[in-house]
Chain A
Amino acid sequence: MSCSRMENKILAYVDGRLKEGERATMEKHLAACAACRVRVSEFRAVHVLLDELPMIEPSAAFDIRMQARVAAEPAKRSWWAWFMPAPRVAFAAAMLLLATVWIGSRTQKNNLSADDIDNINQNMSVLENYDVISDFGALSELPQPVQADDNSDANQNQDQNQQQNQNQTM
């Protein structure tokens, strides 16, 4: 196996993070490649050198400042608190909801009953031809006896009733 193919595995080999099979392949390569052997040994040396850097301890002020910052954070908010910064939005939403309910109830009141729908269905042919009938010239030229007839019939009925009443009283 070539050195370039081994490059990305050298560090894992130094760390001891290679799988069994990969480690065996690496060791086989190292046995035959002096340059990679040197590299492995120098990577190990770098690893050890990096350990020489001292660790620092957090300062005493760190904890105090951290506590103060956490304490200054706003408390946990419940879901409804989402509305709190925007009362106007909440009010507008409530009004919109009320308006929707009111409009909904109005349209329900105006709904037609089953009898009304039957009536409409029976007179559908007239309604469909309403435009023609309303503009039909010949109809407008006809005399309007219907009301007069009705009145005369009504008068006749009234006269008959009066006569009957008189006969009864006699």
Chain B
Amino acid sequence: MLDVKAGDEQSFALLLHRYRGPLINFLYRMVRNREQAEDLAQEVFIRVYRAREDYVPSAKFTTWLFRIATNLALNSVRDSRYQRMEISLDAPVTVDSEDGDEKGLDVAEKHPNIEQHLIEETRKKMIRHAIDKLPEKQRAAVLLHKYQELDYGEISKILQCSESALKSLLFRAYETLRVELAPLVAQRGS
């Protein structure tokens, strides 16, 4: 990032290449829509690019990057929740649309056994639903903890809370997931 600050455009391209995947996945799991996740990721990178001259390496770059991303994602989730409430109560949300636009794999190609494929898809759907049901901040904490493998100090800076508050937030989130995913957890345990 210091090279980007010095005006090295090539370094920004490298930064983009390195972080776009994790960032888009994080945002996708937050907002549950690929297109929206990519739009938000672009916004994050543009903000980083615009702020490059003022960048002070007081914290890790990933902390800064995911802090911007989390703030944008939380705002987007809140906005879309209000929008959904406003649009219509008549239009029921179908099971498929709840899954966002994550396309299933080609059944014939990847799963010769269609029954096995359906079981796997159901499991994934349950896991996605369990994550989606978490309050936004808990969801962000779980995603940063589980998928970005950030340490507690970094996550607490991103979510702007104390480390002990974060531990308690994560504990509550994993407790909820444990209950929501109880059938799958039991299968794994047996």
Contacts and interface: CB of A to CB of B under 8 A. Distances in A.
A65 B16 CA distance: 12
A149 to B, nearest CB: 86
B42 A69 contact: yes
A11 B25 CA distance: 23
Interface of B is mostly: helix
Interface stretch (A52-60, A131-139, A152-160): A52-60
B34 A59 contact: yes
Interface residues of B, number: 44
Q: Which of A7, A12, A43, A53 has the most CB of B within 10 A?
A: A53
A128 interface: no
Q: What class of interface size applies to chain A in its complex with B?
A: 35 or more
B127 A45 contact: no
Nearest to A71: B9
A145 to B, nearest CB: 86
A66 B127 contact: no
A92 interface: no
B151 A70 contact: no
Contacts of B164: 8
Nearest to B105: A54
A8 to B, nearest CB: 4
A12 B24 CA distance: 26
A50 interface: yes
A61 B147 CA distance: 24
Interface in B16-46: 16, 20-21, 24-25, 28-29, 34, 38, 41-42, 45-46
Interface of A: 7-12, 15, 17, 39, 41-43, 45-50, 52-59, 61-63, 65-66, 69-70, 73, 76
